[in-house]
Structure 1
Amino acid sequence: MNLSQISFLDLPFNKLFQDYISNFQKLNSFYEVNPNSDEEIESALQAFNFQGDRNKTVELLKKFNKQFGAGKKTITSIEKLAEENAIAVVTGQQLTMLGGPLFTVYKILTAIHFAQKWQEQYNIPAVPVFWLADEDHDYDEIAGLGFPWKDDYKSVQLDKGSEVGQRVSEIELDTNFATFKKQVIESQYDTDFTDPLWRILDKCYSEGETIGMAFGKLILSLFEEYGVVLAGTAHTEIKEHLVSTMIQSVEKVEEQFQALKNQTDKLVSNGYHGQVHLQPSNLFWIDDDKKRIKLSYENNTWTVDDGDKSWTSAELIEEISEQPERFSPNVFLRPVLQNELLPDFAYIAGPGEISYYAQTKEFYSGFNQKMPVIMPRFSATLVESGIDRIFEKLPFEFADYNDRIEDLESKFIEKSDSPDIESIFDEWKKSIENVSEERVGEIKEVDPTLEGSSEKAIAAFFTELDKLKGKVYRSVKDQEKTQLNRIRKIKANLFPNANLQEREIASIYFLNKYGLDIWDELLEIFKNERPDSHKIIRL
């Protein structure tokens, strides 16, 4: 492997994220710590004080992780959190099928990277934690996998079951999974690594297993060597431990909504936008069918969005006290619960998460908490050797391949040794215009009523010229077919489905092709890097 890099400014990342990396002073008031400043990070570490019960956290995390078959290194990591100065370096993601797209792996590697770095640099216990988004109910976000396919892109989807609407972590894999697995296998080459990979996947994902349990098992199977710890809130005892914070979200609902609104309004006035739409309530209700339904709040009344139930604030607080497992946090309350359970010094975030964290600084203060350091995850594109070999044969830079394929083809033809087609036809049209102006005048003198017919004839000629130009372009394309096929192949690998590779291609594609130790190699190559640019890694 070798590594080069490209600025985030040259790639399709949102404006706030680009400023977060390259112009943080514009966003200073929205975050607690500049992630690009080692001095600020060290100062934040010295001031860090976890207000929770460390021993209770250790007890709960041990129970939680043992469900997933956690090994000794994970248990040892959990026990480290009991030490007074121990920190958690947290990341998280939806519970995707078979590990999901590459960026999930990059999040985990980034958490491991900074846990190792800060532990060594500052002589403190630092533990990488993966927060399972086990409360999420958006099935469509987790049910598909993407693969490079015949110089293009192929998506494989797990058919929906009847449980859609409930938390994804609770959905059991049914007979549809066998079809999904077959399609995934057919979407990949059979290699020396295929059987070892599927031995791991089959231990985690099988009919009758829940998606949450399967995903958690896979994370520990791949990263337990690094002492990665799992956490989440779809667990009765953890919910009971966090009940006071959920009650506080009811007691101070209007104050907390105003805090989110203030920060979001300030974002908008600074030329950004609110990543997450605001509502007063930050809770969901789990109904008798296990479906996760949004709670709405207005005038001291809380209602389930389907209208079946309602509470006053006092009644809702009593319900949360008695049945905390029936309530689920939204995207804003989840990080606050995370801070309550874990000594969460830093959260490893993707571009979208960094944007919505910008809405939350005052919200944390309402719970007497501070926002953790929000560290960007590593962002990368893996360039296979077959792509690398043909990359140099074409006149484009990496970022150019983010353009539409039609634009790339046109640019290539313009850059090639072929005739300058645009110039030929532009000059031809100009010469016709010059001659036609005089001739139209002559015809007008003969019969003024024929002026329109004259101009119509000229327009028809121009139309025929445009048709001819299209034929010339197609002829050149045919002559340059090999190079144009290379362009299509490179784009399909670097920007599949018109998106960044890390957001579209399944991580198991690379495990299957390059072996189970590829993530160890990536972690090593990231060792002396910072996540301040997009990494291009040639395999």
Structure 2
Amino acid sequence: MAQRQIGGHFPLNITSFIESNSSSLAERYRLGDSQVCELFGSHPSNERAWVDRAAWLDANANKRANLKQIADVVRKYHRGLPGGKETENSLAKLEREDCLVVVGGQQAGLFGGALLIFYKALSVIQAARDAERRLSRPVVPLFWIAGEDHDFDEANHVNVQVASGEVRRVRIERPDGPRLAVTRTPVSEEQWATALQELAEQLPDTEFKPRLLDRLQSHVADAPSLSLAFARLLADWFGDMGLVLMDADDPDLRALEGPMFRELMLRNDDLAAALKTGESHVSEMGFKLQAETTPGSANLFLHHEQGRLLLHKDKGSFTDRRGNVSYTCGEMIELSATRPDLLSTNALTRPLMQDFVLPVLAAVLGPSEIAYWGILGPAFKEFGMSMPILLPRQSFTYIEPAIVKLLSKYSLTVEEAIVDWESRRAEWLGKQDEWRLEERFRDVKERFRELYAPLMDTVSKVQPGMAGLAESNRDKILEQIAYLETRSTDAIAKRHEASLRQWDRIRQSLSPLDKPQERLYGTVHFWNRYGPDWLKLWSDVPFDEKGGHRLVEGMPG
């Protein structure tokens, strides 16, 4: 690992991790494949792309929502969040006419959700700092919370590791009734109290745990939605880095989105055709579509008493599949003017709305997001827009100090521990067999087959019907030999039980439940283990505009 000294306190070791899926659309874009980059129009490694995008945004400012009004909405939203000097500086920048933004979005996560959300917010902040340096003008990091999404089960949980090493999930159950947007789904005081109590029981006791729980309690004392509690926590974590937060389901924001909703309705058929063209471009390159459009879909939602309803086009009307609602185009346009809070974008129209609302210099996206943005080029063009620079989200695996020691003890690299743990563990255990049991049992089974074969031949000649009995008898004997081998191997494993638990600990830290660390564990898991200084550690990781997966080793001083 490359070693970097941070602030004179501790060394931070960072190295790249080579991804196995190098042929995916997202990875080929990340690496700057010229053919794939044509889908997006630019690449962050091209210095000129940043200058050109900023110039385009300046020239088309009159086609977007009023930035001063957007800034007022964001400032109002922040009144319900923890504040700080850097946040205030960012809000002040957002009110300037020459301000640009770097955005990244994600659905909320209980108690901060998975580590990848933390890393995406970090990527947004670092990219904004980098862009501000490049362009010598204000660039604000803005995290867009997808509170309009209605998949409550994606937002309602967090995973932590208990003292025994097992992974446990803490969750809040969705209330009975229609599937409303997450921001509109009530969470009771009792539900919050229960979730906090369960988290307290599952988290191992550390010196940092009491303060962590107190801080979480302060965010949920008034029984907020999952989205608002999540925003408060992110403001806590990143406020001193200037991160600005926005909820996509904020009614004040919706009030400014009406004109774009109107365009999406009036030109809905053109939108569908553009998306199909984009799908063709991606398919012709040999990639599987990440988010294939549904024939007849309007790519818009309606918030209704029956839940968040996906709208479709049917003989010129906008309706849902179950027939709960049916609006003419004129009625939908009226809604966009009078009740825009009832409307909502989907994954394919949200990027267009985002570009209408904000001067988006660059968007930070995960691999799946990059894959479905691949079809959006024609849609941006259809609506007179230009796709922002797309920045692959930075991805990390954190190597805990105890794990570093275990890797050294068993002569393992991190890569081997993540992708080849099973075979390396078996290989190590085999080396502990001083009796060479595997070799001996293999020899016994081979010699038995040799000795038994002539006997099988003889009995089959005595009576042909006994051939099957002889085979069955042979297999039973081999089965008993295999049983003895298994018991003997288990006995060796028992002798090395403590070491095998250490192997399991390596696996549970780096690749828990055979999943990437950042996708399983919540940030709160490491916050509890290493304290708030662990959160600050990440601000010292150098920014990489191409993203990619890196291994990070280091501890707060």
TM-score with structure 2 setting the length: 0.88
Q: Identify which of 513, 516, 536 aligns with 1:497.
A: 513
Q: Identify which of 357, 375, 379 aligns with 2:395.
A: 379
Q: Given residue 522 of structure 1, which amino acid in structure 2 is its aligned partner? A: W
Q: Deviations over 1:444-486 (max 9, x none)?
A: 4444443333333322222223222222321221122122111
Deviation at 1:535, TM superposition (A): 2.5
Q: Identify which of 251, 260, 263 aligns with 1:248.
A: 263
How is 1:343-362 mapped onto 2 (pairs within 5 angstroms)?
Answer: 343-362=359-378
Q: Could you say if the C-alpha distance between residues 345 and 378 of structure 1 is closer, same or farther in structure 2, counting changes exceeding 3 Å? A: same
Which ranges in structure 1 are unaligned for 5 or more consecutive residues?
A: none
Tell me, yes or no, if structure 1 residue 303 matches structure 2 residue 337: no
Q: Given residue 287 of structure 1, which amino acid in structure 2 is its aligned partner? A: H
Deviation at 1:110, TM superposition (A): 0.9
Match of 1:366 in 2: 382
Match of 1:272 in 2: 287
* Matched-pair contact (CA < 8 Å) for 1:173–1:206: no
Q: How many residues align?
A: 537
What CA distance in whole angstroms lies between the structure 2 residues aligned with 1:446 and 1:308? 79
How is 1:65-214 mapped onto 2 (pairs within 5 angstroms)?
Answer: 65-68=78-81, 70-149=83-162, 150-162=164-176, 165-174=179-188, 175-214=190-229
Deviation at 1:270, TM superposition (A): 3.1
Q: Give 3-state SS (helix, strand or coil) of 2:409's partner.
A: coil
TM-score with structure 1 setting the length: 0.91
Tell me, yes or no, if structure 1 residue 25 matches structure 2 residue 42: no
Q: Give 3-state SS (helix, strand or coil) of 2:311's partner.
A: strand
Q: Could you say if the C-alpha distance between residues 407 and 432 of structure 1 is closer, same or farther in structure 2, counting changes exceeding 3 Å? A: same
Match of 2:19 in 1: 9
What CA distance in whole angstroms lies between the structure 1 residues aligned with 2:530 and 2:475? 59
* Matched-pair contact (CA < 8 Å) for 2:452–2:474: yes
What CA distance in whole angstroms lies between the structure 1 residues aligned with 2:434 and 2:309? 61
Tell me, yes or no, if structure 1 residue 234 matches structure 2 residue 249: yes
Deviation at 1:82, TM superposition (A): 4.4
What CA distance in whole angstroms lies between the structure 1 residues aligned with 2:458 and 2:82? 92
Deviation at 1:403, TM superposition (A): 5.5
Deviation at 1:152, TM superposition (A): 1.9
Q: Could you say if the C-alpha distance between residues 208 and 397 of structure 1 is closer, same or farther in structure 2, counting changes exceeding 3 Å? A: same
Q: Could you say if the C-alpha distance between residues 69 and 529 of structure 1 is closer, same or farther in structure 2, counting changes exceeding 3 Å? A: closer
Q: Deviations over 1:382-417 (max 9, x none)?
A: 222222221212243323334597656434324555
Match of 2:6 in 1: none
How is 1:505-516 mapped onto 2 (pairs within 5 angstroms)?
Answer: 505-516=521-532
Match of 2:349 in 1: 333
Q: Deviations over 1:245-279 (max 9, x none)?
A: 11222222222122222322433343332222423
Deviation at 1:330, TM superposition (A): 0.8
What CA distance in whole angstroms lies between the structure 2 residues aligned with 1:95 and 1:163? 20
Deviation at 1:419, TM superposition (A): 5.2
Tell me, yes or no, if structure 1 residue 431 matches structure 2 residue 447: yes
* Matched-pair contact (CA < 8 Å) for 1:54–1:82: yes
Q: Identify which of 293, 299, 316 aligns with 1:282.
A: 299
Q: Give 3-state SS (helix, strand or coil) of 1:348's partner.
A: strand
* Matched-pair contact (CA < 8 Å) for 2:32–2:43: no
* Matched-pair contact (CA < 8 Å) for 1:285–1:328: yes
What CA distance in whole angstroms lies between the structure 2 residues aligned with 1:529 and 1:184? 35
Deviation at 1:89, TM superposition (A): 0.8
Deviation at 1:39, TM superposition (A): 5.0
* Matched-pair contact (CA < 8 Å) for 1:286–1:326: yes
How is 1:418-497 mapped onto 2 (pairs within 5 angstroms)?
Answer: 418=434, 421-497=437-513
What CA distance in whole angstroms lies between the structure 2 residues aligned with 1:454 and 1:23? 64
Q: Deviations over 1:106-153 (max 9, x none)?
A: 111111111112212331211100101111111111111111121221
Identity of aligned residues (%): 22
What CA distance in whole angstroms lies between the structure 1 residues aligned with 2:522 and 2:302? 32
Q: Give 3-state SS (helix, strand or coil) of 2:76's partner.
A: helix
Which ranges in structure 2 are unaligned for 5 or more consecutive residues?
A: 1-10
* Matched-pair contact (CA < 8 Å) for 2:192–2:223: no
Q: Could you say if the C-alpha distance between residues 508 and 468 of structure 1 is closer, same or farther in structure 2, counting changes exceeding 3 Å? A: same
Q: Could you say if the C-alpha distance between residues 532 and 449 of structure 1 is closer, same or farther in structure 2, counting changes exceeding 3 Å? A: closer
What CA distance in whole angstroms lies between the structure 1 residues aligned with 2:419 and 2:432? 18
Q: Give 3-state SS (helix, strand or coil) of 1:272's partner.
A: coil
Q: Could you say if the C-alpha distance between residues 306 and 120 of structure 1 is closer, same or farther in structure 2, counting changes exceeding 3 Å? A: same
Deviation at 1:195, TM superposition (A): 3.8
Q: Give 3-state SS (helix, strand or coil) of 1:9's partner.
A: coil
* Matched-pair contact (CA < 8 Å) for 1:177–1:207: no
How is 1:512-527 mapped onto 2 (pairs within 5 angstroms)?
Answer: 512-527=528-543
Tell me, yes or no, if structure 1 residue 413 matches structure 2 residue 429: yes
| Greater Cα shift, 293-302 or 431-440 | 431-440
* Matched-pair contact (CA < 8 Å) for 1:303–1:310: yes
* Matched-pair contact (CA < 8 Å) for 1:148–1:496: no
Deviation at 1:4, TM superposition (A): 2.9
What CA distance in whole angstroms lies between the structure 1 residues aligned with 2:223 and 2:551? 39
Deviation at 1:42, TM superposition (A): 4.8
Deviation at 1:79, TM superposition (A): 3.1
What CA distance in whole angstroms lies between the structure 1 residues aligned with 2:56 and 2:553? 37
* Matched-pair contact (CA < 8 Å) for 1:157–1:180: yes
